[in-house]
Chain A
Amino acid sequence: MAELLSIHVNSQMLELESSSLVALFEYLGQPTRGVAVAVNENVVHRKQWSEFKLQNGDQVLLFESIAGG
């Protein structure tokens, strides 16, 4: 069995089987419209989401669009 990855996502610790960012969104049930993601304080461009590989210990921040002035 592949090693689990320990990832922090918005201050929640998660154990993931896959290193794929896209798989993470699916796991969270997170729709991707209006959403942005940063890994270790670097914004990951949308075009790179499908290729991006998470690593053990990564700090992931997920942001969404909300109401504001």
Chain B
Amino acid sequence: MSSRSQVLIVSDASRTEHNLVREIHLLLGSERISLKGLFIEDEEVLRATGLPIVKEVSHAGEVRDLTQDRLRQEFLQVASSLKHTLSNIANEMGYSSSFEVVKGSHSVELARAAADVDFVVFARAHLPGYLRPRRGPDLVPLLSQAKSLLVVNEPWLSGRSVVVVYEGMASAEALRLAGGYARSAALDLIVVTPEGAQNPEEEAYATAQQVEMECTESALATLCQARDARLLVFSHSDSLQLANMLPELVDRVPCSILRLA
């Protein structure tokens, strides 16, 4: 994990940055972190606002006009705020940082920027109590890359447990990281083993709750909901192909998801 020092934060000014970035070294197991902030001015949205028939429905449920100029202005404000936030936290935590604003397709630009980093954090703004935007489709181009990816479902610090999918030695890193984070954040650790798989042997996980079950999207979503999970962790290389299920899963579970490379 020590090599994963290049971290890409892709966000549209999610409220979660402060808390997440302060904890990111726990997830990486490294103090040497270089943050790269990215804000994508979604060209699809910009294009859509060029149509006179398109209206914006605000989070509060008001229908209003949205011009391209106003949207650009809002993008600028969001990008500026995000840049400021990341810069401050990076200084506070002793990370190096940079920030980039690009215009393009959300999924394409995300995949492009992710190519040069070790760890991708993808967060989308969401006000608690309001409708959650879908994130899954944006992640599709990333799936082919063996990047570690954290998709944040806000709010980051809610939840009382870490759920990790363990399929044997191939998931050892995921288990270690999930266990470490659960300890440091005083959360319960729940180890999910697919039916027929072997439970972890290390004594360190003896106190963890172990659940054996069929690891489908809906079963994992139900478990995470029931156990008030903050984070669901699994490996890219699991035999269950959970990584491929990510676009669907991310919009079904209430918690954040960490997929390790």
Whether A associates with B in a native complex is no
B contacts, CB < 8 Å to A: none
